[in-house]
């Protein structure tokens, strides 16, 4: 669903969702600003969709202090280990044909 949106539209949607979480937690922008070390203006711009961008460190800090940090695991999940990657506790070695001399 979200892939049909532009980057700016996705940022605007994230800001709106973030605001809903912040308000549900009963946090003002000023309280969150003090906890996360992010300016009130940055939070305001993010939540209203007027920010052109937001850096990753700022986003992570805001997510940490609203309890949304747990969702970052889903952003870039770990690749599950293949059951074929190890054989009897040893690293599997792939052979690409025989060597001709």
pLDDT digits 0-9 by tens, 15-74: 999 999 999 999 999 999 999 999 999 999 999 999 989 999 999 999 999 999 999 888
Is 90 exceeded by the pLDDT of residue 78? no
Q: Check residue 68 and give its pLDDT.
A: 95
Q: What are the residues whose beta carbons fall under 8 Å from the beta carbon of 18, sequence distance 6 or more?
A: 46, 47, 62, 66, 68
**Is the per-residue pLDDT at 85 higher than 80?**
no
Beta strand ranges found along 41-85 (DSSP E): none
Whether the per-residue pLDDT at 92 is higher than 60: the answer is no
**H or E segment to which residue 91 belongs:** strand 90-91
Q: Which residue has the higher pLDDT, 80 or 97?
A: 80
**8 A C-beta contact, residue 9 and residue 51:** no
Domains by residue range for the chain, with CATH: 2-69 (1.10.260.40)
Give this prediction's pTM: 0.74
pLDDT at 2 over 90: no
For tokens 């074929």, what's the residue?
Answer: 84
Handedness of CA 40, 44, 46, 52 (dihedral sign): negative
Identify the band that residue 88 occupies on the pLDDT scale cut at 50, 70 and 90. low
């Amino acid at each position: 669903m979200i892939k049909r949106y532009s980057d700016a539209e996705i940022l605007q949607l994230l800001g709106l969702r973030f605001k809903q979480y912040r308000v549900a937690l009963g946090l003002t922008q000023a309280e969150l600003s003090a906890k996360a070390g992010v300016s009130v203006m940055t939070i305001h711009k993010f939540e209203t969709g007027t920010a052109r961008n937001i850096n990753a460190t700022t986003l992570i800090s805001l997510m940490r202090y609203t309890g949304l940090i747990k969702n970052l695991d889903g952003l870039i999940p770990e690749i599950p280990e293949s059951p074929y990657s190890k054989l009897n506790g040893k690293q599997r070695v792939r052979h690409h044909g025989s060597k001709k001399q």
